[in-house]
């Protein structure tokens, strides 16, 4: 085991553990945000730079600080490493800059976006966003497209995190979409707008950190915070049948996987409980589910209602305008 100190808290982890996962072992606000890393998807991470942290000492053997901030999702800990996340002003300022970059092209259409309330970029914008934009050029724009009859792609909102590509690679038997082109032309596409029509394709909706991939059976039906999330299970031959059904009265408005506090699908009985398309899109009748009880949403987000802890640095920056 190796010892690492993150924001003055010591933790012991297996060699090879990343800084992000060591921080998750501690929990709370020591944990850096992650827009592209997803622990259940192999190879994810290293794309968005929201998880940057400061390494104040590299290791016991070489205690020099690392000159640049590092991506905590892809940097392994070393014995004696000292890491700063919430205790570093540099990290805070850089995260604000990354947020500003991500928002260059991402539209501020939260009032009409189905992801509002669950969007990681909305949370990041709330905590680090600036009131205005310095960007004068035109934003890149794409027409929304249908990817089959159940999934809508709003490429304008995509932050190119690659999570949906990894889902298609690792969960379905034939990936028919990917990221085409480079730079500001890069876009998620099936090229010929084919349906993504395999049993687990709907999971791209659950992993998308923003509102780029949304559920067409739920779009514009309700704001998520008006719905009651309930843990539910069903007999399913394709998946474990363990989901969250989002209800208004007796009606099921949408079905999602069970997400943990990092917005990732939980493990149940040692296996990640991805849900199949039949459970997600076709079982909207209460009689098809065994409702187990209310689901507590413990994510640090609008959906968790009244759980925003406003960072005093944010408040002072707003007041001073810096």
Binding residues for ligand FES, per CB under 6 A?
34-37, 45-51, 71, 73
Q: Which does 124 bind (CB under 5 to 8 A by kind): ligand FES, ligand SF4, none?
A: none
Paired tokens of 309: 């802890």
Cβ at position 113, least distance to ligand FES in Å:
21
Specify the stretch interacting with ligand SF4 by CB under 6 A; choose among 17-25, 158-166, 255-263, 264-272: 158-166
CA distance 37 to 42: 9
CB nearer to ligand SF4: pick between 188 and 279 = 188
DSSP code of 291?
E
Contact call for residue 188 and ligand SF4 (CB under 6 A): yes
CB nearer to ligand SF4: pick between 124 and 159 = 159
Contact call for residue 176 and ligand SF4 (CB under 6 A): no
Cβ at position 178, least distance to ligand FES in Å:
18
Cβ at position 272, least distance to ligand SF4 in Å:
16
Q: Which does 252 bind (CB under 5 to 8 A by kind): ligand SF4, ligand FES, none?
A: none
Contact call for residue 164 and ligand SF4 (CB under 6 A): yes
CA distance 288 to 290: 7
- What Cα–Cα distance (Å) separates residue 2 from each residue in 22, 23, 59, 69, 73? 10, 13, 10, 21, 17
Cβ at position 241, least distance to ligand SF4 in Å:
24
* Residue 26: φ, ψ to 5°: -75, -45
Contact call for residue 210 and ligand SF4 (CB under 6 A): yes
Q: Which of 39, 45, 55, 48 lies closest to 7, judged by CA?
A: 55
CB nearer to ligand FES: pick between 42 and 305 = 42
Sign of the C-alpha dihedral, residues 202, 204, 208, 213? Answer: negative
CA distance 288 to 268: 20
Q: If you write DSSP's letter for every residue of 196-244 in order, what string do you get?
A: --STTTTHHHHH-SSSSEEETTTTTT--GGGSEEEEEE---SSS--EEE
Q: Which does 22 bind (CB under 5 to 8 A by kind): ligand FES, ligand SF4, none?
A: none
Q: Which does 158 bind (CB under 5 to 8 A by kind): ligand SF4, ligand FES, none?
A: ligand SF4
Question: Which residue among 124, 207, 240, 303 contacts ligand SF4 (CB under 6 A)?
Answer: 207
Q: Which does 45 bind (CB under 5 to 8 A by kind): ligand SF4, ligand FES, none?
A: ligand FES
- What Cα–Cα distance (Å) separates residue 73 from each residue in 26, 37, 76, 129, 130? 15, 6, 8, 22, 25
Cβ at position 287, least distance to ligand FES in Å:
40
Contact call for residue 212 and ligand SF4 (CB under 6 A): yes
CB nearer to ligand SF4: pick between 32 and 209 = 209
Q: If you write DSSP's letter for every residue of 54-107 in order, what string do you get?
A: EEEE--SS--PPPSS-EETTT-B--TTEEEESTT-HHHHHHHHHHHHHHHHHS-
Residues engaged in binding ligand SF4 (CB under 6 A) = 158-164, 188, 207-210, 212-213
């Amino acid at each position: 085991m190796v010892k690492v100190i993150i924001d003055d808290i010591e933790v012991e982890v297996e060699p090879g553990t990343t800084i992000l996962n060591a921080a998750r072992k501690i929990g709370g606000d020591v944990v850096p945000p992650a827009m592209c890393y997803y622990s259940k998807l192999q190879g994810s991470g290293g794309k968005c730079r929201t998880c940057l942290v400061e390494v104040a000492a590299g290791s016991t053997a070489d205690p020099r600080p690392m000159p640049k901030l590092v991506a905590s999702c892809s940097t392994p800990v070393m014995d004696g490493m000292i890491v700063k996340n919430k205790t570093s002003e540099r990290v805070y300022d850089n995260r604000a800059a990354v947020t500003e970059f991500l928002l260059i092209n991402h539209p501020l259409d939260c009032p009409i976006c189905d992801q509002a309330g669950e969007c990681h970029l909305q949370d990041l914008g709330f905590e680090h966003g600036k009131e205005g934009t310095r960007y004068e050029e035109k934003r890149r724009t794409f027409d929304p497209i249908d990817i089959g009859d159940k999934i809508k792609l709003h490429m304008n909102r995509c932050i190119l995190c690659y999570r949906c590509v990894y889902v298609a690679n690792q969960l379905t038997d034939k990936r028919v979409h990917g990221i085409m082109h480079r730079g500001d032309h890069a876009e998620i596409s099936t090229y010929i707008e084919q349906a993504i029509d395999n049993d687990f394709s709907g999971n791209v909706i659950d992993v998308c950190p923003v509102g780029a991939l949304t559920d067409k059976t739920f779009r514009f039906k309700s704001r998520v915070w008006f719905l009651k999330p309930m843990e539910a299970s069903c007999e399913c031959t394709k998946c474990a049948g363990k989901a969250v059904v989002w209800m208004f009265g007796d009606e099921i408005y949408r079905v999602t996987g069970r997400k943990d506090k990092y917005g990732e699908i939980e493990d149940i009985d040692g296996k990640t409980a991805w849900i199949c398309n039949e459970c997600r899109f076709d079982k909207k009748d209460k009689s098809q589910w065994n409702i187990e009880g209310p689901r507590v949403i413990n994510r640090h987000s609008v959906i968790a209602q009244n759980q925003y802890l406003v960072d005093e640095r944010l408040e002072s920056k707003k007041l001073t305008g810096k």
